[in-house]
A and B are shown apart, each in its own frame.
Chain A
Amino acid sequence: MRHVISVLIENEAGALSRVSGLFSARGYNIESLTVAPTEDGSLSRMTIISTGSDDIIEQITKQLNKLIEVVKVVDLSEAAHIERELMLIKVRATGKDREELKRVSDIFRGRIIDVTDSTYVIELTGNTAKLDSFVGAIDSSLILETVRTGVAGIGRGDRILRL
């Protein structure tokens, strides 16, 4: 099963490699990992997307908690939460494709943020499935480059992860 694990961790050099090292050393799977400082600059917030059986996910959260610099770990997917990912996608936009790409981008509530004679850069946010379906909706031969941030997640309502 796919899980969204949120981690509050001391914002120190090497903290990220402790987390990524843990996953590779124990053979856990990472689909994506995002990290950036929080409003408190001494703390970073990570969102890790991982898949595994309940036993493995339980071990992952326990092992993460064991890292000295980890302050808190929450499996967001245990309850209502929101996931968002940002994608920047550069497409070849010439001739009749220009209009079509603009239209599809609008449907997905994307924004064209760079325009040249022959290319667009489209910015799109949403959950993973939405970004996947946008990629699926346009002609793959037109895609020049895609870059995705990986998922950032947050609990809904009163579910708050902080110190």
Chain B
Amino acid sequence: MLLTGAEIVVRCLQEEKVDYVFGYPGGAVLYLYDELFKQDKVRHVLVRHEQAALHAADAYSRSTERVGVALVTSGPGVTNAVTGIATAYMDSIPMVIITGQVPTAAIGQDAFQECDTVGITRPCVKHNFLVKDVKDIAPTIKKAFFIAKTGRPGPVLVDIPKDITIAKAEFDYPKSVTMRSYNPITKGHQGQIKKAVQLLLEAKRPMIYAGGGVVLSDCSDKLTKLVRMLGAPCTNTLMGLGAYPATDRQFVGMLGMHGNYEANMAMQYCDVLLAVGARFDDRVIGNPADFARVARKIIHIDIDPSSISKRVKVDVPIVGNLPDVLDDVLRLLEGSSERPDKDALGEWWKQIEEWRRRDCLKYKNSDEVIKPQFVVEKLWEVTKGDAFVTSDVGQHQMWAAQYYKFDKPRRWLNSGGLGTMGVGIPYGIGVQLAHPGSPVAVVTGEGSVQMNIQELSTCKQYRIPLKICSLNNRYLGMVRQWQEFIHGNRYSESYMDSLPDFAKLAEAYGHVGLRVEKPGDVEGALREAFKRKNDLVFIDFQVDPTENVYPMVMGGKGLTDMILSAEDL
């Protein structure tokens, strides 16, 4: 039987067992929306701005093991979506984005709502396709899902001109994909793995540095087992939080620009560093020349060969799928007669505990004014550390990362790579739909939250009971902090005047709004919010406008050159 292109697209999504599509209709995708209307397997979530559709699909993917799907129209639908696509790309999130395009004959004619979608998105997708024949729709969508979730994951875009959604073809969804040009590696090189195990067994000061790759490949259990077998300290990157349980003694905290003192020190002064699914980026190791100043052996396991030896020279590169490689490592360790050097480890831990005693995350609490760190600590307590937490970008993001102790992977969602303000609420939407009934907190600020505030309307339509904790300091806090440290307190355009009454704004959208001004009311407000299981509650915390994020490694400085508190300035 012949089906239209639009029918084929929807059938493909059904075959992929897609339960939610996040999107926004428009001229070029009308036939697709008509087919969505006629069925009920694939549910559509109507956002208020295409950027949010991408973020929500992205979060759906981040919080599950599945591929998020977004659908937008041509031209402005696509350009609005670009920020969301780039955000997912930078954090290697598997997504499939279906975009409408003007009819084939109109392409290149500067038609209404036309843009070069494939060209515009090329640098921020893992791959993209323009479908020019209705017969190609099914194989292309199959390939898109395959490419998105295999190898180093990433967003894949399929651009479909309107006339192709009307044309007809037989529907036959391919069972499998073979591509001569794309064969992601899975097994790691056995010789290299042996070398790595030997190095780990001989290490006097081992350190394990785990990133978002561990979360994405769902191998936290294997990582945890390895860390415990080795008795080594473990740090997680911002993207890796939850990969190793934060409340475990062997966890030394997040590392990097706002990382824990003990994590950064151990990273710098270890003798064998095992990097797992992390990429030594500029916010993590600071100045690479300073990092290279200390001699250490580096083992780097990653699925993407181009992440290895990109910023830091590596001694033992292992390209492969993390779960497979970690299995091999664990097997060799278990089979070896050698064990890690207990005495050396004892010395190493003595040193680490000494660093840990600096208690780098301590802050001066106040009875007068709410400290933002205090809000996150209370959020952790009230949710018993078991909520999904999304954040926006800025100071509040760092405080959430530092003070909410994530014990499980896929619980912490933020834009680590691109640093996109405005992801908080749409991320919340994606997570909540993927995990109905679970508590979802959005830690945000009055700056970021206004970048996608319109999504409060989406939350109303789909009854998404987020708990939005806005750390309102009336400043674009991270910008203000840098201006304080580097630009002589000249707060150029970082103060926000004329803010709305957020509690009333939330109420206007049909939600519950609370405004909290006193430290004593923080816990009560949070308890009240989480008790209201079916309501979205927006809590506008009026926090200390002068608070800074510590520790901090200034740009260009070495990882151990940390400002620990205001006294160090």
B182 at the interface (CB under 8 A from A): yes
Report which A residues bind B (CB closer than 8 A): 9-10, 13-14, 17-18, 21, 25, 55, 58-59, 62-63, 65-66, 68-71, 163
Tell me how far the C-beta of B181 lies from the nearest C-beta in chain A, rounded to whole angstroms.
4
B306 at the interface (CB under 8 A from A): yes
Q: Does A68 lie within 8 Å of B123, measured CB to CB?
A: no
Instruction: Report the separation of the CA atoms of residues A17 and B147 in the bound assembly, to the nearest whole angstrom.
Output: 20
Tell me how far the C-beta of A29 lies from the nearest C-beta in chain B, rounded to whole angstroms.
17
Tell me how far the C-beta of B345 lies from the nearest C-beta in chain A, rounded to whole angstroms.
34
Task: Tell whether A68 pairs with B127 under 8 Å between CB atoms, given A18-B122, A21-B122, A163-B180.
Answer: yes
> Would you list the 6 A-B pairs with minimal beta carbon distance, nearest first?
A62-B306, A68-B127, A71-B181, A62-B305, A68-B182, A25-B123
Q: Does B309 lie within 8 Å of A55, measured CB to CB?
A: yes
From the candidates B181, B305, B309, B310, name the one contacting A10 in the complex (CB within 8 A): B181
Set of chain B residues within 8 Å of A17, measured between Cβ atoms: 119, 122
Report which B residues bind A (CB closer than 8 A): 118-119, 122-123, 126-127, 130, 147, 152, 179-182, 304-306, 309-310
Set of chain A residues within 8 Å of B179, measured between Cβ atoms: 68
Known A-B contacts: A9-B181, A18-B122. Give 6 more (CB < 8 A): A14-B119, A25-B123, A62-B306, A68-B147, A70-B181, A71-B180
From the candidates B130, B152, B309, name the one contacting A58 in the complex (CB within 8 A): B309
Tell me how far the C-beta of A10 lies from the nearest C-beta in chain B, rounded to whole angstroms.
6
Instruction: Report the separation of the CA atoms of residues A68 and B123 in the bound assembly, to the nearest whole angstrom.
Output: 13
Q: Does B147 lie within 8 Å of A21, measured CB to CB?
A: no
Q: Does A68 lie within 8 Å of B181, measured CB to CB?
A: yes
B124 (CB) vs chain A CBs: closest residue: A25
Instruction: Report the separation of the CA atoms of residues A69 and B147 in the bound assembly, to the nearest whole angstrom.
Output: 12
Tell me how far the C-beta of A7 lies from the nearest C-beta in chain B, rounded to whole angstroms.
11
Instruction: Report the separation of the CA atoms of residues A55 and B288 in the bound assembly, to the nearest whole angstrom.
Output: 14
Task: Tell whether A59 pairs with B306 under 8 Å between CB atoms, given A17-B119, A21-B122, A68-B147.
Answer: yes
B119 (CB) vs chain A CBs: closest residue: A17
Q: Does B181 lie within 8 Å of A66, measured CB to CB?
A: no
A-B contact pairs, 10 of them (CB 8 A): A13-B130, A14-B119, A18-B122, A21-B123, A55-B309, A58-B309, A65-B306, A66-B152, A66-B304, A68-B126
From the candidates A13, A65, A68, A163, name the one contacting B305 in the complex (CB within 8 A): A65
Q: Does A63 lie within 8 Å of B181, measured CB to CB?
A: no
Tell me how far the C-beta of B149 lies from the nearest C-beta in chain A, rounded to whole angstroms.
14
Set of chain B residues within 8 Å of A70, measured between Cβ atoms: 181
B151 (CB) vs chain A CBs: closest residue: A66
Instruction: Report the separation of the CA atoms of residues A9 and B182 in the bound assembly, to the nearest whole angstrom.
Output: 11
Tell me how far the C-beta of B146 lies from the nearest C-beta in chain A, rounded to whole angstroms.
10
Q: Does A66 lie within 8 Å of B306, measured CB to CB?
A: yes
